[in-house]
Structure 1
Amino acid sequence: MWFALGTFDADDTAFPGLVVQDAVIDLRPSFGEGATVEGMLQDWDATLADLHDLADEAGDLPSVALDDLRVLAPLRPRQLLCAGANYFRHVRQIVASTLRNGGDERSEDDLQAEADRIAHARAASGTPFLFPGLPSAVTGPYDDVVLRGPGVQHDWELELGVVIGRTAHCIGPDEAMDVVAGYVIGNDISTRDVMTRPDLPMTDFIMSKSRPTFFPTGPYLVPRGCVPDPRELRLTLSVNGEVMQDDTVDDIIYGIEQLISYASHAAVLGPGDLLLTGSPAGNAGHHGNRWLAPGDVIDAEITGLGRQRNRCVAPPGEADTAPRP
């Protein structure tokens, strides 16, 4: 039986809700007036058992139509970790477009060959690439994305998010799935032209990826048991109705098990942490540098996890009809 966990707003009061079909069951009567999704994750095994019971009884419980509620981000993660360069086709595309945009005059065949070499080297290294994000960047699945500067090359990155439900430290890949509570949709909005700083030979992920509203999350946390095989999930993202990303998780370089294991050797993972697993092919550089601009509407979907719709807007005080770079 499919069900999901989310955070909703009714009359300016946020509450955790159980989603069954198109109805939301307020979980405060079952978990306490001050219940939150973050709190419910602290004892995920007990919470999950209770959610199963409530889902079985959903037809007899009071509920509210989903359309009558504002859907918030399902959780505010305790820690936010992101995998980079973790899909084969994505790595090939972003390497080729970066070389091309940087003035590399080699033939298209030579650029693709170089991109293939780098993509396969990523897999051969045996080492995922993770970086931290700021939880303050998290916004709701239907909220506006404010395209703040500096920088104008705003890009999209649809990703499968993994929510941690147990403490994990220095665990192996064979233990990793046992600490997964469930899955969410994440869109890691990124400003490409401020990633590399001219004053430092380093990448600035805080400025380029962690601005407020740059991380639409949700609409739901879908328990792990409701997703039989995450590698079969399809990720689809469009801008103004034009499909930009359409791929399956099966193109991933380092899977969920490897990412969690690697992360757990760098940090102590705990309930409420969110791990992003990387983005598939189809970013703006591949589409002729078609960067996001005010007025654009992003629609994103992952099989069985729901849909997002976010409108891009200019920062307060700037014209919302700013021309595209």
Structure 2
Amino acid sequence: MKFARLGESGSEIPVVIEEGRTYDLRPVTSDVDGPFLASDPAARTRAALDAGALAELDGADALRIGSPIVRPGAVVCIGQNYAAHARESGSEPPTVPIMFLKTPNTVVGPNDTVTIPRGSEKTDWEVELGVVIGARTAYLDSPAEAAAHIAGYVLCNDVSERTFQLEISGGQWSKGKIAFGFNPTGPWLVTPDEIDTETLRLRSFVNGEPRQDSSTDDMVFTVPELVHHLSQVMTLEPGDLILTGTPQGVALSGRFPYLKPGDVVEVDIDGLGSQRQEFVAWEAQR
């Protein structure tokens, strides 16, 4: 099952996409938010579909695609979680997950324009598998318990500014991760029954040229291991978003130039759809 949110920013309509048709989800929920995700959303939606309670949304194809989840309370990121990416960054794969945070206002629609921060010369792309939490999660006893706490999966682009992240960071990475709009998300939230997180292909392109092309089988820590580990150090709430790391092939590797105004980034993951963002100069957005 695929959930999405369509319409102008701040006025998105929750929908479910079923067999190529887009149904208005408002008879079931006002939005794809924490309370909805914590209340067995797939079963509730299936019951409404089977009862004929959901109408198709007129003009859905013409509407902007928003993030498939409401702005989360927390965006938790994992660094260097692909072995090859860790090595291209000059490090060996970590022995424990590296965690940092993005601010909630980084989460925007999958095709929204992204503004390069003022003064940036090292804006970078990172295709990532995102995990959306569906139940309050703290102190899980084992990774096997993680599945019951996951509402679904999303495609994300963890946009990064490497000077802010590594050169003026003071030792913390978040400075390079928290510019507004630096986390295009979607187009869909896909329920766990449709996704095998161990064998997903991830790809990115800049101006049509291939950059990243890898699989989640290169992950250092699996999705269940990450959710379990994070639950030992924080409480995750329904609607929170975890970004699970990016594979090799980013500009930080030194093999590709950083992004400049006018560049177009496309990312995709098997089963989770695709995104397209144009990058523009900060001055053009004042």
TM-score, L = length of structure 2: 0.92
| Kept after mapping to 2: 8 A contact 1:22/1:65 | no
1:265 aligns with 2:240: no
| Structure 1 position 218, deviation (Å) | 0.6
Aligned position for 2:147: 177
Aligned position for 2:67: 73
| Structure 1 position 50, deviation (Å) | 1.6
Alignment of 1:24-39 (within 5 A): 24-31=22-29, 35-39=30-34
| Kept after mapping to 1: 8 A contact 2:115/2:285 | no
Supply the distance in 2 between the matched residues of 1:232 and 1:65 (Cα, whole angstroms): 35
| Kept after mapping to 2: 8 A contact 1:150/1:194 | no
Supply the distance in 1 between the matched residues of 2:52 and 2:193 (Cα, whole angstroms): 18
SS at match of 1:71: coil
Look up the equivalent residue of 1:63 and give its one-letter code: L
Which consecutive residues of structure 2, in runs of 5 or more, have no partner in the other structure?
Answer: none
Aligned position for 1:213: 181
1:90 aligns with 2:58: no
| Structure 1 position 301, deviation (Å) | 0.7
The root-mean-square deviation of aligned C-alpha atoms, in Å, is 2.3
1:239 aligns with 2:206: yes
Look up the equivalent residue of 2:179 and give its one-letter code: R
Supply the distance in 2 between the matched residues of 1:39 and 1:203 (Cα, whole angstroms): 28
Supply the distance in 1 between the matched residues of 2:19 and 2:283 (Cα, whole angstroms): 37
Aligned position for 1:193: 163
Change (3 A) 1:49 1:292: same
Supply the distance in 2 between the matched residues of 1:22 and 1:180 (Cα, whole angstroms): 24
1:284 aligns with 2:278: no
Supply the distance in 2 between the matched residues of 1:79 and 1:203 (Cα, whole angstroms): 17
Supply the distance in 1 between the matched residues of 2:34 and 2:220 (Cα, whole angstroms): 33
2:16 to 12, 15, 18: 18
| Structure 1 position 232, deviation (Å) | 1.3
Supply the distance in 2 between the matched residues of 1:66 and 1:317 (Cα, whole angstroms): 29
| Kept after mapping to 1: 8 A contact 2:3/2:188 | yes
Look up the equivalent residue of 1:185 and give its one-letter code: L
When the two structures are aligned, how many residues end up with a matched partner?
284
Change (3 A) 1:58 1:285: farther
Q: Deviations over 1:153-174 (max 9, x none)?
A: 1111110000000011110211
Q: Answer with 1 or 2: which has the greater Rg.
A: 1
Change (3 A) 1:187 1:316: same
Supply the distance in 2 between the matched residues of 1:201 and 1:152 (Cα, whole angstroms): 19
Change (3 A) 1:300 1:62: same
Which consecutive residues of structure 1, in runs of 5 or more, have no partner in the other structure?
Answer: 96-114, 320-325
| Kept after mapping to 1: 8 A contact 2:37/2:151 | no
1:52 aligns with 2:22: no
- Of the structure 1 ranges 64-73 and 267-276, higher mean CA displacement relative to structure 2 is found in 64-73
Aligned position for 2:126: 157
- Of the structure 1 ranges 13-22 and 52-61, higher mean CA displacement relative to structure 2 is found in 52-61
SS at match of 1:91: helix
Q: Deviations over 1:99-136 (max 9, x none)?
A: xxxxxxxxxxxxxxxx5xx23xx2xx2x1111111011
Change (3 A) 1:60 1:180: closer
Supply the distance in 1 between the matched residues of 2:73 and 2:269 (Cα, whole angstroms): 23
| Kept after mapping to 2: 8 A contact 1:197/1:203 | no
Supply the distance in 2 between the matched residues of 1:196 and 1:309 (Cα, whole angstroms): 26
Supply the distance in 2 between the matched residues of 1:190 and 1:62 (Cα, whole angstroms): 38
Change (3 A) 1:20 1:66: farther
| Kept after mapping to 1: 8 A contact 2:211/2:249 | yes
TM-score, L = length of structure 1: 0.81
Supply the distance in 2 between the matched residues of 1:285 and 1:317 (Cα, whole angstroms): 26
